[in-house]
């Protein structure tokens, strides 16, 4: 099928490339000229495992093209996905300016029937507004359909999540639209939930907010564990074995970050409020998440005493492993709090150091964990990168100023670390 995807961020680019890999003819469109000319040279703007290889493969096989113009890019497409950004406004509401602009752009260049599919995470009723915007700008009255098809991929495992989804959600208002999307997704052999557009939009908000709630719940329980001397990893294990609960997203730590959960929880709170429902449960989810970072800084302060002029070695900056994304990374707030107390910061992240420079200043970026550890007063783990499991702590012990580890992601085995002569502090675990 000929399709196009407007917006080449994480969701747009991965969607376009994966549909090409499934054998479709795909044009990825973005108004960022620099980004598109880089992509034409096969320079990928984001770090996502496996993405570069898939881009190269599909460009070579002539299934994947890039364009800056909506007019040229959608000309031959039957299905047009909208995957542009929906940033937060200061009040938490999603800013849909880009979505509206794109809808207007599509309407002006409709030639034959097209199915316009919103893939960006958007508030309920955005589908209706896209339809309305296209209708009023579609002077030649070309037939079209609008659908909602939220994406559930995670950064860091985006390609495999796209190719092996738990479910595909399709919100449609015509059989024609349902047929096109079902055909497009058939090769994935995943269960498809077909519903109305509003319900599809809500499924995305509710899913992300529920996962965020799970994380805040376990983080709150981790605080109680600290107070009563219980072990959060055992509590999560015991809870998670109940199939109705499940073990995933029960890892306590320094809280959730990224471009999705914080923004989506805010947007869901806002849209519920606008519709007349006070979603106070979700406000508490956000509060628990914010507090978790403060507790961790307090723990460091309690154990190091005065932070002024101490050197704190940070391992991990990205909001989670497998990505270079720094948006809403807990590391940003935690490092700023430590700097405010007068601490000096040294840091290493396998992928995110370049992007971290946009969010943080006065940091000595290091080439590896050993350089971070040299003469530092402690090591602080903020992202659970797999490669941090391979660190030679015997070597670290010889380099570090004070052998103290604060593990914000509960990565290490306490007994093994303490045996090497370190003091070890983590989140709610014995």
**Backbone φ and ψ of 351, nearest 5°:** -130, -25
Of the candidates 250, 265, 426, 427, which one interacts with ligand UGA according to CB under 6 A? 250
Give the number of C-alpha atoms closer than 13 A to the C-alpha of residue 235, restricted to the C-beta side: 22
Which of these segments, 45-53, 100-108, 251-259, 385-393, binds ligand UGA (CB under 6 A)? 251-259
Per the annotation, the verdict on 260 as an active-site residue is yes
Q: Given the complex with ligand UGA, which of 144 and 319 has the nearer CB atom?
A: 319
Got the DSSP string for 334-362? HHHHHHHTT-EEEEE-TTTHHHHTTT--S
Of the candidates 98, 129, 185, 249, which one interacts with ligand UGA according to CB under 6 A? 249
Minimum Å distance from CB 328 to ligand UGA? Answer: 8
Binding residues among 94-133 for ligand UGA as defined by CB under 6 A: 121
Catalytic pick among 260, 366, 378, 426: 260
DSSP state for residue 87 in the 8-state scheme: P
d(CA 262, CA 389): 28
Which of these segments, 82-90, 178-186, 259-267, 340-348, binds ligand UGA (CB under 6 A)? 259-267
Binding residues among 147-166 for ligand UGA as defined by CB under 6 A: 151-155
**x-or-dash pattern for ligand UGA, window 262-291, by CB under 6 A?**
--x---------------------------
Q: Given the complex with ligand UGA, which of 12 and 127 has the nearer CB atom?
A: 12
The closest alpha carbon to 205, from 153, 267, 254, 146, belongs to 267
Q: Given the complex with ligand UGA, which of 250 and 345 has the nearer CB atom?
A: 250
Q: Given the complex with ligand UGA, which of 400 and 411 has the nearer CB atom?
A: 411
Q: Where are the beta strands (DSSP E) in 272-422?
A: 311-315, 344-348, 363-365, 378-381, 404-407
Per-residue b/e over 14-40, b at no fewer than 16 CB within 10 Å? bbbbbbbbbebbbbbbbbeeebbeebe
Which of these segments, 35-43, 47-55, 248-256, 361-369, binds ligand UGA (CB under 6 A)? 248-256
Contact between 261 and ligand UGA by CB under 6 A: the answer reads yes
Minimum Å distance from CB 142 to ligand UGA? Answer: 31
Sorted by sequence, the CB contacts under 8 Å of residue 172 that are 6+ apart come out as 145, 147, 148, 178, 181, 194, 195, 196, 197
Sorted by sequence, the CB contacts under 8 Å of residue 361 that are 6+ apart come out as none
Which of these segments, 34-42, 195-203, 208-216, 300-308, binds ligand UGA (CB under 6 A)? 208-216
Contact between 208 and ligand UGA by CB under 6 A: the answer reads yes
Minimum Å distance from CB 61 to ligand UGA? Answer: 27
Of the candidates 319, 348, 393, 424, which one interacts with ligand UGA according to CB under 6 A? 319
d(CA 154, CA 53): 18
The closest alpha carbon to 411, from 426, 430, 393, belongs to 426
d(CA 211, CA 72): 39
Contact between 5 and ligand UGA by CB under 6 A: the answer reads no
**x-or-dash pattern for ligand UGA, window 325-364, by CB under 6 A?**
----------------------------------------
Of the candidates 256, 348, 412, 425, which one interacts with ligand UGA according to CB under 6 A? 256
Minimum Å distance from CB 264 to ligand UGA? Answer: 6
d(CA 84, CA 302): 44
Of the candidates 83, 99, 103, 211, which one interacts with ligand UGA according to CB under 6 A? 211
Q: Given the complex with ligand UGA, which of 169 and 391 has the nearer CB atom?
A: 169
Sheet harboring 404-407: ordered strands across?
Answer: 363-365, 344-348, 311-315, 378-381, 404-407, 423-425
Q: Given the complex with ligand UGA, which of 261 and 393 has the nearer CB atom?
A: 261
The answer to whether the CB of 95 falls within 8 A of the CB of 88 is yes
Which of these segments, 37-45, 111-119, 246-254, 347-355, binds ligand UGA (CB under 6 A)? 246-254
Q: Given the complex with ligand UGA, which of 79 and 329 has the nearer CB atom?
A: 329
Helices 261-275, 197-228: crossing angle, 10 deg rounding: 120
Which of these segments, 41-49, 61-69, 83-91, 254-262, binds ligand UGA (CB under 6 A)? 254-262
Q: Where are the alpha helices (DSSP H) in 195-247?
A: 197-228, 232-240
The answer to whether the CB of 168 falls within 8 A of the CB of 147 is no
- Binding-site ranges for ligand UGA (CB under 6 A): 121, 151-155, 208, 211, 215, 249-251, 253, 256-258, 260-261, 264, 319-320
Q: Kindly list the catalytic residues.
A: 260
């Amino acid at each position: 099928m000929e399709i196009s995807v407007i917006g080449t961020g994480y969701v747009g680019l991965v969607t376009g490339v994966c549909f090409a890999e499934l054998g479709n003819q795909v044009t990825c469109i973005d108004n960022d000229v620099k980004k598109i000319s880089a992509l034409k040279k096969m320079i990928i703007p984001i770090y996502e495992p496996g993405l570069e290889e898939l881009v190269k493969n599909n460009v070579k096989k002539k299934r994947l093209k890039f364009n800056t113009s909506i007019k040229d890019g959608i000309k031959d497409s039957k299905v047009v996905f909208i995957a542009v950004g929906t940033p937060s406004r200061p009040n938490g509401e999603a800013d849909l300016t880009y979505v509206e602009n794109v809808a207007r752009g599509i309407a002006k260049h409709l030639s034959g029937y097209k199915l316009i599919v919103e893939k960006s995470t958007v508030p309920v009723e955005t589908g209706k507004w896209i339809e309305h915007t296209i209708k009023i700008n579609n002077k030649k009255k070309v037939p079209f359909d609008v659908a909602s098809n939220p994406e559930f991929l995670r950064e860091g495992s985006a390609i495999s999540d796209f190719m092996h989804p738990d479910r595909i959600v399709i919100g449609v208002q015509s059989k024609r639209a349902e047929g096109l999307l079902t055909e497009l997704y058939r090769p994935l052999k995943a269960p498809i939930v077909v519903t109305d557009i509003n319900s599809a939009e809500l499924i995305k908000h509710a899913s992300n907010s529920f996962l965020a709630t799970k994380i805040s719940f376990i983080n709150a329980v981790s605080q109680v564990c600290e107070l009563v001397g219980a072990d959060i990893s055992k509590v999560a294990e015991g809870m998670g074995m109940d199939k109705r609960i499940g073990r995933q997203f029960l890892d306590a730590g320094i809280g959730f970050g990224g471009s999705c959960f914080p923004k989506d929880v805010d947007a869901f709170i806002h849209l519920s409020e606008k519709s007349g429902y006070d979603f106070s449960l979700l406000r508490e989810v956000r509060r628990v998440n914010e507090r978790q970072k403060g507790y961790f800084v307090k723990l460091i302060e309690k154990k190091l005493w005065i932070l002024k002029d101490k050197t704190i070695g940070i391992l991990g900056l990205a909001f989670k492993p497998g990505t270079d994304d720094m948006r809403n990374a807990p590391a940003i707030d935690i490092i700023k709090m430590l700097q405010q107390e007068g601490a000096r910061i040294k840091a290493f992240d396998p992928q995110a150091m370049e992007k971290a420079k946009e969010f943080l200043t006065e940091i000595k970026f290091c080439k590896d964990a050993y350089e971070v550890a040299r003469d530092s007063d402690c090591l602080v783990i903020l992202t659970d990168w797999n490669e941090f499991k391979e660190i030679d702590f015997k070597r670290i012990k010889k380099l570090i100023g004070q052998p103290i580890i604060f593990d914000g992601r509960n990565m290490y085995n306490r007994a093994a670390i303490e045996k090497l002569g370190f003091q070890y502090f983590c989140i709610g675990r014995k």
